[in-house]
Amino acid sequence: MTRRVNSELLLVGSLPAESAEAAFRLAAGFFEGLVFALPDGETGPRGGWVTYERERLVRPNEGIATLAETASPTGLPRHAYEKPVFGVKPGVSAVRWESWPRIDDAIASYSLFTSLRAAGVIPAGVRFQVCLPFPASAMNAFKADFAHDYPIAAAGFEDLVGRELARLFAAVPPSDVAVQWDLAYETQDIERVLAWTSEGAWERFAGPVTRLTRLIPAEALVGYHLCYGTFPEWPMYEARDMDLLVRMANFAVANSGRTVDWLHLAGPRYLRSEDRSFFRPLVDLEPRDARVFLGIVLPIDGEPGLRRRVDTASRYISDFGVAMYCGFGRQPGKDGAETMRDHAEVVRAVRQPG
């Protein structure tokens, strides 16, 4: 199969815009010719990423109890230990959700996307990008009795994802969509840096890979975003090297039950830009037909920093695009438009010289 994604840049998901329309308009202008798909920016209530699932799915479910509230004085968690804690109620063996608000948002955003594309704002041939959290990321707040509660919640969530993917593709043509699975807590779980999780971290990643990705129609593009999160600092955990991300990526490519079209692997903090040992595991990456994007665009050091990281990574992988370490909707900056403009200018300067 011929590789279907060949762009220089991946937009990971969240963008610093006030609305989906603003995100589409700004991104279409700044990133034209660089990207194969546009996300809606994950604006509004989705700005806190899986805070959305905690508040819209987990908290309201009648089978789930809130064991501890958000500890932040503002009501918004500032770090992992200020998140609410949930538990499955005694006697509950299964939880069910009827619908996933994130899919409602995707369908609404696609309608806006097609209108803007018809008006010439979004270039023809650019796909609509939908970013969806993987189970261990979406259901990460079961801290009190994780070994008992998480499998029940995760089973209900996987059932929901299967039904809601069908609803998404009944409303949106698969040939016009790029679906990205977002994994941040999965990586930390496998690295054993989450104190509240239990044994079985690899299966919490691998099982959904084999069960969920095959449900996405072949006409749709599919990618995996592998990073270590940005809440509150980024990365939340800096790995010794890229070995785990490479192993996860290789497993996903080999076991998704369909073509994987792109892989996003987060890079290091800027001080390790020339650390060859960090990038060396890339020699073992087996992407097949997937376009590899390295998350090595950092807001802190601009064009010179990106050049350093590209030069180091190029010792171990010859063909790759670039991306921000993670989504950058909450990235500090002068304003959202300036942040996106800087992102595009840095990438063009390094990846499209002359």
What digits encode the pLDDT tens for the residues 316-347? 999 999 999 999 887 756 788 999 999 999 99
pLDDT exceeds 90 at position 73: no
CA distance 131 to 224: 9
CA distances from 72 to 69, 81, 86, 300 (A): 9, 9, 16, 28
CB atoms within 10 A of CB 110: 20
The token pair at 172 is 């949106």
- The length of the chain in residues reads 354
pLDDT exceeds 70 at position 272: yes
Instruction: Decide: residue 142, CB within 10 A, 0-12 exposed, 13-18 middle, 19+ buried.
Output: buried
Domain ranges of the chain: 9-50+101-141+174-351
Closest CA to 231 of 76, 20, 343: 76
pLDDT value of position 210: 98
Strands 291-297 and 262-266: parallel
* N-term to C-term CA, the chain: 32
pLDDT value of position 333: 65
CB atoms within 10 A of CB 124: 7
How many Å is the maximal CA-CA distance in the chain? 65
Q: Is-contact 236 273, C-beta < 8 A?
A: no
pLDDT value of position 319: 96
Q: Is-contact 252 263, C-beta < 8 A?
A: yes
Mean pLDDT of the chain: 94
pLDDT in tens, 139-165: 999 999 999 999 999 999 999 999 999
CA distance 18 to 28: 15
Q: Is-contact 295 266, C-beta < 8 A?
A: yes
CA distance 173 to 144: 41
**Mean pLDDT calculated for residue range 81-88:** 90
Q: Taking the model in full, what pTM does it have?
A: 0.96
For 159, phi and psi rounded to 5 degrees?
-60, -45
**CATH annotation of 9-50+101-141+174-351:** 3.20.20
CA distance 150 to 135: 10
Helices (H), 119-215: 135-138, 146-171, 185-191, 201-212
pLDDT in tens, 159-217: 999 999 999 999 999 999 999 999 999 999 999 999 999 999 999 999 999 999 999 99
- Label each residue of 241-290 as H, E or C: CCHHHHHHHHHHHHHCCCCCCEEEEECCCHHHCCCHHHHHHHHHCCCCCC
> Which pairs from 243-246 meet CB under 8 Å and 24+ separation?
243/281, 244/187, 244/190, 244/191, 245/187, 245/281, 246/281, 246/282, 246/284, 246/285
pLDDT value of position 213: 98
* 302 half-sphere exposure, CB direction, 13 A CA radius: 7
